[in-house]
Amino acid sequence: MSNRPPRIALFATRWLGAEVLTRLHARGHDLALVTTQAEDRSAKAARARAIPVVAKPDQVPLIPADLPWRPDLILCAHAFRILPDWLLQWSRLGGIGYHPSLLPAYRGRHAVADAITAGQRFTGGTVYWLTRSIDAGPTVILHSNPLQTRVQILANETAPELWRRALAPLGADLFLEAVDGILG
């Protein structure tokens, strides 16, 4: 890679997407944001930093012209999208996502609620390589360690409370650790 900063295509929404975008921008990464909503928190954070934004609803497929350049790495932060194979292959290193469970346990959109309903006392977060299957790619390994962290589920804690207290902030931290380790 040249002396230019790494280029990251960020597919993101909500608090987690905005937080990851803000932290990566502060570290000098070249970013482009793809979001599903033009007025999402992530889109507003990107525009405030003059970062290119593409707002596309989920049902509209991506095309190569949607991104201003070929990314080195793709991140999905609270994006709920399955990216097309061409995009993952077009990215120099592929793509990573964060899931709020200790994968392979509790895949899918309701992972946090499912862990609580099952009576689990612990759950966690995992950064994994994106594939065409939902939450099924291999866990990112850094320095021989899987990029997973365990958190305790507090008594009577709801899924939204657990997400806000522990899992969303953990996701932002794990994304930065993954980007540092992968793009190092």
Distance, in Å, from the CA atom of 153 to the CA atom of 148, rounded to the nearest integer, reads: 16
pLDDT score of 57: 84
Q: Give every CB contact of residue 3 below 8 A, 6+ residues apart in sequence.
A: none
Residue identified by tokens 């989920």 is 58
> Does residue 2 belong to any structural domain of this protein?
no
pLDDT score of 1: 47
> Does residue 1 belong to any structural domain of this protein?
no
As for how many domains the chain has, the answer is: 1
Omega within 30 of 0 (cis) for the link into 104: yes
> Does residue 27 belong to any structural domain of this protein?
yes
Question: E strands within 30-183?
Answer: 30-35, 53-55, 73-77, 95-99, 122-129, 141-142, 145-146, 148-152
Region 83-92 average pLDDT: 93
Distance, in Å, from the CA atom of 120 to the CA atom of 154, rounded to the nearest integer, reads: 10
> Does residue 16 belong to any structural domain of this protein?
yes
CATH number at residue 99: 3.40.50.170
Return the structure tokens found at 77: 């932060």
Instruction: Confirm if 18 and 26 have CB atoms less than 8 A apart.
Output: no
> Does residue 140 belong to any structural domain of this protein?
yes
**Stated pTM of the model:** 0.94
Q: What is the pLDDT of residues 30-74, one digit of tens each?
A: 999 888 888 899 999 999 999 999 998 877 888 888 888 999 999
Q: Please, what sign has the CA dihedral across residues 83, 170, 160, 128?
A: positive
> Does residue 157 belong to any structural domain of this protein?
yes
Q: Give every CB contact of residue 91 below 8 A, 6+ residues apart in sequence.
A: 9, 70, 71, 72, 73, 74
Q: What is the pLDDT of residues 110-125, one digit of tens each?
A: 999 999 999 999 999 9
> Does residue 80 belong to any structural domain of this protein?
yes
Region 102-117 average pLDDT: 97
Average pLDDT score, the chain: 94
> Does residue 139 belong to any structural domain of this protein?
yes
Full domain range(s) for residue 114: 7-183
Secondary structure tally for the chain: helices H, strands E = 6, 9
